[in-house]
Structure 1
Amino acid sequence: VSRGAKLAAQLLAFGRRQALEPKVVNVTRFVRAMDDMLRRAIGEGIEVETIVGGGLWNTFIDPAQVENALLNLAINARDAMEGQGKLTIELGNAHLDDDYAKAHDDITPGQYVMLAVSDTGSGMPPEVIDKVFEPFFSTKSEGKGSGLGLSMVYGFVKQSGGHVKIYSEVGEGTTIKLYLPRAMQSEDVEVATVIGPIVGGSETVLVVEDDTEVRNTVVEMLSDLGYRVLKAVDAASGLSVIESGILIDVLFTDVVMPGTLKSPELARKARERLPDIAVLFTSGYTENSIVHGGKLDAGIELLSKPYSREALARKFNHVLANQRQRKENRAAMGNVGSSVATIAERVTRRTILLVEDDDLIRMSSAEMLQASGFAVIDAASAEEAITAISTLPIDVLITDVNLPGMSGPDLARTARAQRPQLGIVFASGDLTAVATDVPAVQLPKPYRPTHLIASVERALAIAEAATTSD
């Protein structure tokens, strides 16, 4: 299964159809961090030299794909050198001018970050160079490679708006240069993920998937995780199940489906009949009705294919936690005045920045905070929140962990860099994804108004204690 998932991911990368998770990064950090792994992968017989130019620019790319690309290039270089030789990794700033762009296809003139990998191997003749980025083409003997490594690198770079150039001479070696577009923004701060145990549930899930093998596999994985699973072969039959009156907690549907009824319309009709239903889409393609320009439409939950059992479990935990939070907020809104009146008397006018991509959770939680005497600024994404942090006096940041674009922990690190005494609350159904090096109050979803206010007060107390100690 894992090999098949890797194969599918590589094919999607070549076709420029994988859903990337780009961030503003400085590639130097990734190359340095991969040094030990690269040396283990290529063996002791190969000397590794890394050359980093001064003042390297940032670039907007998917960090995981950069690491995969560098590892693929290093392994190809190792095989070309048959375990003996020198591997040179070079990073530098580059400007591709109009003349260069005219001489090559699909290139926009401008500033790029160049990542080059050179080897002292056997090199390649021109007829091989012309085919080296084609899927399943390989210079290795049968059984020694899938022929997808370089095609994956090519597809990822092109999807990221970059350019790939290869130089090779028989008997001398090969250099492959990746040109990644320069980003003018400051670097996003990476936060290490804490991996916890895989946890399932007991809710009822409707799986809508037209591929029989995929459907059977998903049903088996969800059943093993404890869920009660219903299944449908297309959107129309999925709607029939929903209209039957069976209580369904989660609609898990492929985006690209046969028939006249499409998945987004199925989701809309499902929410009309079952307002509390959680909807999770899945797709292996970025060019569909819920992903545009490689980014998700607002308010959409997507699990990209191929996915592991662990990824499936964690995504379900996330969407179900949000579903429970929406129910909790609706039930609590009628009692907000009485339940928090005493708390409101103790609150001086503090400003809370609430970051949550689920509209209902964000609005109802903001009302709870306002009823307790807090001033509330709300944002649907980390990018919106950063603007508020830069311009407004914020006392406490409350953020979901799983946000579109920059994650909640990334946002917290960025916010702390600007406001060291800022109180932080992480609100999520998957708190295992929060790095322990980010001092914060953890608020599990679903939460009640009193839990929300208590978490804010704890965050304020922590921030005030830190100020006093300074």
Structure 2
Amino acid sequence: MLLLTIAVLGLAALMLPFAAHPFAPLPHISGMYGTATAIIDLATFWLLASAPRQPRSHAIIAAAYLFGALMAMAHVLTYPGAVLDDRAVVGSPHAVSLLFIAWRAGFAGFVLWAVLASSRDQMAARSKTSSLPSVLAVLSAVAFFFASQLTDAAALATVSGREMFSALSRQGSYAAAVLAVAAVLMIWRLRLWSRSIFVWLVFVLVAEATAVWLSTFSGGRYTLAWYATRVEGVIANAVVLVLLARHFRNLQMDLASTVAMLQLRTEGLQAEIHRRESAEVKLAQAKKLEAVGQLGAGLAHDLNNILQVVIARLALLQRRAGSAVDADVEVIRRNVRKAEALTRQLTLLSGRRHHNARPLDLTEIFLSIAEGLRALLAKRHELLIDVEPGLPHIAVDALELEIALTNLVTNARDAMPEGGQVAIGVRQVPRPDGTVSIDIQVRDTGYGMTAELRERAFEPFFTTKEPGKGTGLGLPQVHGFVSASGGSVSVESEPDRGTAVTMSFPIHAEPTNHDLSPRAAHPLRTGQVVLLVDDNDDVREASAQLLRASGCIVRQTSDASVALALLHDGFRPGLLISDIVMPGGLDGVELAHRARAVQPDLVILLVTGYSDAADTAKARGFPVMRKPYDLASLARALS
């Protein structure tokens, strides 16, 4: 800005000796000049007035440009030859001089008003933009126009046969220039150069004052200074318009950037809201599941106690009746195992599974569960089971494996509503790292899954089934079981091309084929003294008779405190079998801990229908066996 101001002053100084040089009269130049100035000033007014919550000084500057635009229009309409040949469109031709003086002086006056108002901008809070300055600008322009029509004061005087500015034009123009200089000095005095709008107004006012003074100094119209003044006026006003346009362009870019940023944040906020809503739904489902799981755990505990009575009494009946009832006993045992599987599924609802991993012969396992898997399918479905012969053992929980296969076969059935084939293949597969794993693959010919569904297949509670037909816990159970067994699970699926779920398990390092009988497993031997503790009378009595049938000497009690008192009184059994969950302040885990302190060589076995305390018992080094159990299971646990 400073360079432009110096350039204007320098150009005026260079032009001063030639300011009065005459040129051909071109009155339409005033029409072009006035029209261009009016358009520029109106655009500047619009940009300034459209800013929301602007300071009062900016509203006054906008009014200055509105006043300048109206006066420029009046100048064009009253200047002879600007629009029509040799005459004005309206009014007296003598009005031009007064309007020009009022134009220049009025613009400088509005700027001076804005300078004085700026000192109050910083003290007053910004409020709604006032329209008063603009109203005054319009009223002033109208007043000056009509006032100019009430006088015949000549704008020009004939001197030596040449038309020159009259004294009124000279003195009025000089006064307008002085007023512009006064506004510049006030801007400087109030240190308003920190606000860019006033800095550029300094340039405009200097250019206006210089041009008006130089044009008047030239003495008349159509001189070099007169034409230069018109060009310089358009340039000076255009500079501020360009400045404001760039400013508003930058504001638009900043606004667009802000809108884009807000849009991204809004999308992120919406995603977070959806995530939280989904989390709240899952939390509600988890709470419901926890409540159902607690109920299931309690039912499992009670049912396993009942099954323990059944299986113990069944063993006694078989001993008494002999081989004649073997077939019936086997049917009952098979259904007891099914009931046990149901109680295990009840414990799955609580999410606290207790894995009982042991070496398994997969050929035997699939022979025992094949009938149950086929029962899951309808007549329109075909089940193929292909187990490679001679497979090594894997160490997994047999019941968990059965539940996992049940979930996979159920999913395969639901994926083939019109019927199809379910193929289970069990193979020994070499791995790239040189190890060998046992792969159990369940493949169907159903509608398959997309890539998005495959990624969420193991997500808890996620299901594509209709409400009430799926919990979204089947594949998560498979994943949890395989992971807990040290293996991995993968899904291969394409839309309309079926699905294959492969469970890979490591080979058990020491496959065993123990044939443990009650008499072969220490300490279940004839004459062995056993202390049996269980608060359920039927369970305790059935278990005691089962142990006595194997030759053991059994002393039983329903209270852990009584059992501990017996040990303190000198009773020395070889084996302590205690239920974990018992009433009173002493449970089976604490009884085992205190009994070991009294008799360090005591063999201890804890049993439970279902209890979270089983984890605590295992952490303390006590073996835990799940009800229902028979003598063979008891022998394996003790070994």
| Range class of TM-score, shorter chain | 0.3 to 0.5
Return the structure number with greater helix share: 2
Flag the structure with larger Rg.
2
TM-score (norm 1): 0.45
TM-score (norm 2): 0.34
Return the structure number with greater strand share: 1
